[in-house]
């Protein structure tokens, strides 16, 4: 297919924290956008800068040649692609569908297969790097699909990410993203459990970080999440409920492959507990609160 350039009409569906920053980057790079999102007010700043509002998914799909989706849960992806007035039935043949939501690998494969039937291309392209990475165009984009589609979409990935790797066929991007979440859980658990242990032992957690922050125990979580925990800041970089969704997807996928994933199984128990405790909208570092059993975040045990 023809490579995408700034004359290609781009559709963007899903303008949450991540999606709106990613769409902004594309806009700043000169792309003309057709946008749609559930809560129309979230599109305001994009529209001010020239994006066109579409009244629904069908209109975005019909008017674009590359359609990017950045949604929350697999159910939403399913509705947007396969529902009535969805992307599949509305996209024009020759278009490319790029789902950047973290979702079920099997759903990515289904999108890919259905797209092919209809003369469309599809990529799964979930990201890591958080809100900051999205704003700065420094996401890591993990791509699954056909090499030609990847080639065609590179121009867009270049604007949104500082690295983008074709990992394999449809669903591979999703599976790599799940690997990312598995590794991330381990470090987050280690960080929160070490802090909880330190505080209960009556140690000064700031001094503890001074000693352990740069060696074999070091991680992004220890560097970035531990100071937030110590400050009592449990605001979301990444939501507990989204992390729990990813953990469940990884568990489901692991089970289907016959993988032994005791860390994931523990992750599910712990993050499901956090959600039941009403902490679904806190950041993943709220795991500390569960481990320490503390109402007040960092007070040493008596």
Q: In the window 112-171, what residues touch a second copy (CB under 8 A)?
A: 128-130, 133, 140, 142, 163, 165, 167-168
CA 280-180-156 angle, 5° bins? 100
Total residues contacting a second copy by CB under 8 A comes to: 73
* Binding string, residues 256-275; x marks residues near a second copy by CB under 8 A: -xxxxxxxx-x--xx-----
> What is the C-alpha to C-alpha distance for residues 38 and 277, in angstroms, rounded to an integer?
28
Applying CB under 8 A, among 31, 234, 238, 271 the residue interacting with a second copy is 238
Residue in 34, 175, 245, 282 binding a second copy, rule: CB under 8 A: 175
- Tokens 């568990």 locate to 251
CB of 183 to a second copy, least distance (A): 4
Element (H, E) at 8: none
Residue 207 contacts a second copy per CB under 8 A: yes
Token readout for 279 is: 């902490």
Q: Which of 177, 245, 268, 282 is catalytic?
A: 177
Q: Is 208 in the site for a second copy (CB under 8 A)?
A: yes
Active site residue 268: no
Q: From start to end of 73-160, where are the E strands?
A: 96-99, 121-124, 127-128, 139-144
Half-sphere exposure of 56 (CA within 13 A, CB side): 10
Contact stretch for a second copy (CB under 8 A) within 15-23, 71-79, 89-97, 287-295: 287-295
11 vs 297, beta carbon nearer a second copy: 297
Q: Is 218 in the site for a second copy (CB under 8 A)?
A: yes
The whole-angstrom separation of Cα 238 and Cα 42 is 19
Beta strands 127-128 and 66-69 are: unpaired
**Which residues have CB under 8 Å from 44's CB, separation 6+?**
none
Site string for a second copy, 61-100 (x = CB under 8 A): ----------------------------------------
* Out of 180, 271, 280, 297, the residue judged to bind a second copy by CB under 8 A: 180
Q: Which is nearer to a second copy, 83 or 186 (CB)?
A: 186
Q: Tokens 């809560």: give the residue.
A: 39
CB of 255 to a second copy, least distance (A): 11
State phi, psi for 252 to the nearest 5 degrees: -60, -45
Please give the Cα distance from 232 to 186 (Å, whole number). Answer: 21
In the chain, the N- to C-terminal Cα span, in Å, equals 66
Binder of a second copy out of 146, 254, 275, 298 (CB under 8 A): 254
If the CB atoms of residues 95 and 172 are measured against a second copy, the closer one turns out to be 172
Task: Give dist(CA 191, CA 208) in Å, integer.
Answer: 11
Candidate residues 215, 276, 295, 296; the one interacting with a second copy per rule CB under 8 A: 215
Residues taking part in catalysis: 177
């Amino acid at each position: 297919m023809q490579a995408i350039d700034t004359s290609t009409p781009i559709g963007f569906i899903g303008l949450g924290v991540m999606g709106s920053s990613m769409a902004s980057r594309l806009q700043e790079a000169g792309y003309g956008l057709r946008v749609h999102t559930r809560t129309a007010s979230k599109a305001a700043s994009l529209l001010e800068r020239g994006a066109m509002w579409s009244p629904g998914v069908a209109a975005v799909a019909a008017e674009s040649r590359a359609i990017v989706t950045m949604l929350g849960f697999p159910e939403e992806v399913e509705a947007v692609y396969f529902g009535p007035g969805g992307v599949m039935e509305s996209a024009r043949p020759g278009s490319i569908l790029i789902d950047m939501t973290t979702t079920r690998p099997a759903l990515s494969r289904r999108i890919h297969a259905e797209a092919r039937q209809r003369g469309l291309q599809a990529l799964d392209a979930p990201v890591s790097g958080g809100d900051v990475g999205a704003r700065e165009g420094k996401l890591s984009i993990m791509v699954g699909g056909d090499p030609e589609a990847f080639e065609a979409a590179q121009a867009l990935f270049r604007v949104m990410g500082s690295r983008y790797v074709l990992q394999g066929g449809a669903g591979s991007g999703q599976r790599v993203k799940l690997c990312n979440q598995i590794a991330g859980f381990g470090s987050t658990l280690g960080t929160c459990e070490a802090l909880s242990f330190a505080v209960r032992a009556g140690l000064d957690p700031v001094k503890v970080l001074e000693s352990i922050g740069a060696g074999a125990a070091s991680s992004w979580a220890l560097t970035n999440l531990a100071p937030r925990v110590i400050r009592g800041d449990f605001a979301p970089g990444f939501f507990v409920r989204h992390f729990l969704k990813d953990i469940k997807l990884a568990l489901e996928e692991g089970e289907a492959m016959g993988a032994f994933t005791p860390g994931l199984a523990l992750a599910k128990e712990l993050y499901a507990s956090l959600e039941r405790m009403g902490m679904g909208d806190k950041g993943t570092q709220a795991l500390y609160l569960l481990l320490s059993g503390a109402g007040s975040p960092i007070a040493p045990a008596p």
